[in-house]
Amino acid sequence: MARTARGSGRTTVMMAATGAAGASKARDSEASDRRGDRDEIESGGRKGGEQGHGGLFAEQEKERALAAEEVKVRARRKLMEMLAFIVFLVLFTCNALMQRPVEASHDFSKEFTAATLEGASFSSTTYFKGIRDVGTVDDFWTWMVECPMQYLYIDRSYNGSLFGPDFQGTTWRVNGNNVIVQRPRLRQVRVEPQTCKIPKRMKAKVGYGDQQTCIPKVQDAEIDKTTWWALELNSSFVMVQRPVPFYSASQLSSSSFTSRASGSPLSYDGGGFIQDFPLNMSNAQFVGFLQALRAGGWTDSRTRAVFFDYVVYNVALNLFLSTRLLFEFLPYGFVRSSNSIRVMRFGYVRLSDLSLLVLDIFVYVTVFIWLGLLILRVSKERRRVLRDVWFCIDLVNIVIFMITLGYKVQYYNMVKDFIGGYPDPSVAGSPSQESPVFGSGRGETGFLQRYMDFDALGWYSNQITNWTGFNALITWLKFLGYLQYLNPAVSRLILTLARSAKDVTIFTILLAIALWAFALALYVSFGSEMDEFKSVNLAYINVCKSLVQGLDFDKIRQVNVFLGPLLFLLFQFICFFFLLNMFIAIIMESYEIVREQEEKVTLMSYLREKLSHVIGTTVHPVPVHIDNNDSDKGAGREEANLEDNGKVQQNVQKIQADIELVLASLVDFRKEMRSLGKKVHQITETGGKGHYPTNFLE
The answer to whether residue 300 is domain-embedded is: yes
Yes or no: say if 274 and 244 are a contact pair by the CB < 8 Å rule: yes
Yes or no: say if 120 and 148 are a contact pair by the CB < 8 Å rule: yes
pLDDT tier, 662 (very low <50, low <70, confident <90, very high otherwise): low
Please tell me the predicted confidence (pLDDT) of residue 87: 92
The answer to whether residue 479 is domain-embedded is: no
The answer to whether residue 668 is domain-embedded is: yes
The answer to whether residue 74 is domain-embedded is: no
In total, how many domains does the chain have?
4
Whole-angstrom Cα distance, residue 395 to residue 203?
62
**291 & 218 share domain:** yes
Asked which of 442, 473, 504 is the last residue of a domain, the reply is: 473
Yes or no: say if 435 and 429 are a contact pair by the CB < 8 Å rule: no
**599 & 651 share domain:** no
**336 & 383 share domain:** yes
- Give 255-291 pLDDT, tens digit per residue: 999 988 877 788 999 999 999 998 888 899 999 999 9
Asked which of 473, 501, 527 is the last residue of a domain, the reply is: 473
Residue 66 has, within 13 A of its CA and on its CB side, a CA count of: 12
**527 & 451 share domain:** no
- Domain residues for the domain of 659 are 630-698
Asked which of 574, 596, 625 is the last residue of a domain, the reply is: 625
pLDDT higher than 90, residue 500: no
Yes or no: say if 425 and 432 are a contact pair by the CB < 8 Å rule: yes
For 584, other C-beta atoms within 10 Å of its C-beta total 9
Q: Cα–chain-centroid distance for residue 179?
A: 37
**SS3 category, 694:** coil
**591 & 505 share domain:** yes
Please tell me the predicted confidence (pLDDT) of residue 382: 80
Please tell me the predicted confidence (pLDDT) of residue 679: 61
How far is CA 421 from each of CA 173, 424, 430, rounded to the nearest angstrom?
A: 21, 6, 12
Q: What interhelical angle do 137-146 and 283-296 show, nearest 10?
A: 160
pLDDT tier, 368 (very low <50, low <70, confident <90, very high otherwise): very high
Q: Give 633's contacts (C-beta < 8 A, 6+ positions apart).
A: none
Yes or no: say if 323 and 180 are a contact pair by the CB < 8 Å rule: no
**621 & 648 share domain:** no
pTM of the complete model: 0.71
How far is CA 378 from each of CA 73, 387, 394, 580, rounded to the nearest angstrom?
A: 22, 12, 12, 39
How far is CA 552 from each of CA 128, 155, 532, 533, 558, rounded to the nearest angstrom?
A: 32, 52, 10, 12, 10
Strands in 171-246 per DSSP E = 173-174, 178-190, 194-196, 212-214, 228-233, 239-244
Yes or no: say if 273 and 227 are a contact pair by the CB < 8 Å rule: no
Whole-angstrom Cα distance, residue 649 to residue 111?
76
Whole-angstrom Cα distance, residue 145 to residue 134?
13
**341 & 439 share domain:** yes
- Give 575-610 pLDDT, tens digit per residue: 888 888 888 888 888 888 887 776 655 555 555 555
Whole-angstrom Cα distance, residue 338 to residue 117?
11
Name the pairing type of β-strands 273-276 and 178-190: antiparallel
How far is CA 679 from each of CA 671, 674, 686, rounded to the nearest angstrom?
A: 13, 9, 11
**SS3 category, 399:** helix
